[in-house]
Amino acid sequence: MSPTEHPASERLTGLVDTEEAREILGMWLAEGEARVHAMLLVLGRFDSVNLAHGAQTGDYALGEVGRRMAHFAQDEFARASWLVARIDGGKFLLATRDKCSRERWQFLAETLADGVAQPMAGSAPGMPQLWPHIALIRALSGDDPTTVLSRLGDAQITLRGESGRRIVWIDRDLAPAGFDVGQIEAELRRSLERGAISLRFQPQFALADDALIGAEALVRWDQPLLGDIGGEALLRIAARADLTTQLTRKVIEAALDAVRDWPEGLKCSINITAADLAVVRFPDDLLRMVEERGVDPARLTLEITEQALLGDLDLAARSLGRLRKAGMRIALDDFGAGFCNFGYLKYLPLDFIKLDRIMLDGVAESARDRAVLRAVIAMARALELAVIAEGVEDETQRAIALEEGCSAYQGFLRARPLPHEEFLALASGQA
């Protein structure tokens, strides 16, 4: 069985400890089906965070870094086996059995480092920015977990000695072929101009009867050097090249064109970024695109994350309010992931909250996790907000989401993200 054929139940979707990481790495290396890729992320000067802000703030920062890494892995290796482990202190391991070029593995490390370095919502005032350093390795024939982890650990010495360097390779292959970030950004610009960006559609189902109710549009870019890129990695390329709003526009246009072919009643969710909400004319542009394509605004849901709301909250509320008044629905995405500003729930014109997949991880085994889930859903009900569960990967999670009052779900239990033609076939079969 190839890495991309592993069923959802065999993927790892949360933090494991060092011993578990060793065991899983050993299993992968013994199977020898594909090269194992690993990276060790080390938070520079992390001890100073504990000293300056206390152990509680330090623990919060470590938890947030682990969450960001797990979320990143879920987006980038959705169809491959992966793990994220906290080794000790400010050290984390990310490993995958995905087939991956050296260029792509280095690019993913750069993207992850950018994501971890972003300010943390809810952190203590004056908390310094975290500066991650990452060591990369591609395991070779004959390697074992001890060898891999030892060589990654040795790379820390190299990183500490070169303060201006944040990525280092530590394996026996030739040095990686470098890539020009500026060239990649230029290629993205050309791809946007040519419309060479594609969408995948993550089906969404009603919990009551498993009826298909719509899909979330997910953007992908097939980049010749780096392979298939989407999610956070693509957004960071776009942000560095100042192309975020152009990328969103292409996604919206493609999603609207797709919706016109869908059976009546199916709805499409589109992700909106902070850069989009910062543009005053964004509601006008979106409504014009909807009108030009003859799509009913009621068939659209705009998904926003807390990170998209860290700028001008008043402007965001006004823009979303206008779009909601036009018939669109508004969802707060990734709810429950890290810090949650509950003030958003009463301040913004919301229709849904989408529970981050972490809210269902371990909920079947932990009464405490189940109580937290129940409390969040009860709060949403009190505010007359519907709840959608993300990342549902097994029947137990689906049953719990239904029992606790979620109205809909998405996840690999029923369907992976599909090309448009495959989504149409799925929709036609349930129409």
Contact partners, residue 396, CB within 8 Å, separation at least 6: 364
If asked whether residues 151 and 244 sit together in one domain, one would say no
If asked whether residues 262 and 286 sit together in one domain, one would say yes
Mean pLDDT over 281-292 rounds to 96
Assess if residue 51 is contained within a domain: yes
Assess if residue 177 is contained within a domain: no
Q: Is the pLDDT of residue 285 over 70?
A: yes
Q: What per-residue confidence (pLDDT) applies to 14?
A: 58
If asked whether residues 288 and 344 sit together in one domain, one would say yes
Cα 416 to Cα 256, 338, 346, 421: the distances in Å are 21, 25, 33, 14
Assess if residue 175 is contained within a domain: no
Q: What per-residue confidence (pLDDT) applies to 159?
A: 59
More confident residue, 3 or 89: 89
Neighbours of 228 (CB within 10 A): 14
Nearest 5°: the CA angle 149, 155, 161 is 155
Helix axes 46-53, 55-76, angle to 10 degrees: 140
If asked whether residues 147 and 26 sit together in one domain, one would say yes
Q: What per-residue confidence (pLDDT) applies to 172?
A: 47
Q: What per-residue confidence (pLDDT) applies to 347?
A: 83
Residue-by-residue DSSP string for 144-194: -HHHHHHHHHHHHHHHHH-TT--EEE-SSSPPPPP--HHHHHHHHHHHHHH
If asked whether residues 205 and 154 sit together in one domain, one would say no
More confident residue, 282 or 101: 282
**For residues 363 and 51, what is the distance between their CA atoms, to the nearest angstrom?**
34
Q: What per-residue confidence (pLDDT) applies to 123?
A: 54
Q: What per-residue confidence (pLDDT) applies to 121?
A: 62
If asked whether residues 50 and 148 sit together in one domain, one would say yes
Assess if residue 176 is contained within a domain: no
If asked whether residues 92 and 188 sit together in one domain, one would say no
Assess if residue 386 is contained within a domain: yes
Mean pLDDT over 238-260 rounds to 92
Q: What per-residue confidence (pLDDT) applies to 351?
A: 96
Assess if residue 174 is contained within a domain: no
Q: Is the dihedral of CA 231, 275, 199, 250 positive or negative?
A: negative
The CATH number of residue 123's host domain is 3.30.70.270
If asked whether residues 356 and 383 sit together in one domain, one would say yes
Mean pLDDT over 184-213 rounds to 93
Assess if residue 387 is contained within a domain: yes
If asked whether residues 103 and 225 sit together in one domain, one would say no
Which one of 137, 169, 201 terminates a domain?
169
Which one of 147, 169, 191 terminates a domain?
169
Q: Is the pLDDT of residue 230 over 50?
A: yes
If asked whether residues 17 and 99 sit together in one domain, one would say yes
- What total of structural domains would you count in the chain? 2
* Structure confidence by residue, pLDDT tens digits, 105-164: 888 988 898 888 887 765 555 555 677 889 888 887 677 888 788 778 766 655 554 556
Which one of 117, 146, 169 terminates a domain?
169
Neighbours of 170 (CB within 10 A): 20
The CATH number of residue 204's host domain is 3.20.20.450
If asked whether residues 153 and 13 sit together in one domain, one would say yes
Assess if residue 34 is contained within a domain: yes
* Structure confidence by residue, pLDDT tens digits, 305-362: 876 666 678 888 999 999 999 999 999 998 876 556 677 788 889 999 999 888 888 7
If asked whether residues 118 and 190 sit together in one domain, one would say no
Q: Which domain holds residue 227?
A: 182-430
Q: Strand ranges (DSSP E) for 261-299?
A: 267-271
pTM summary value: 0.70
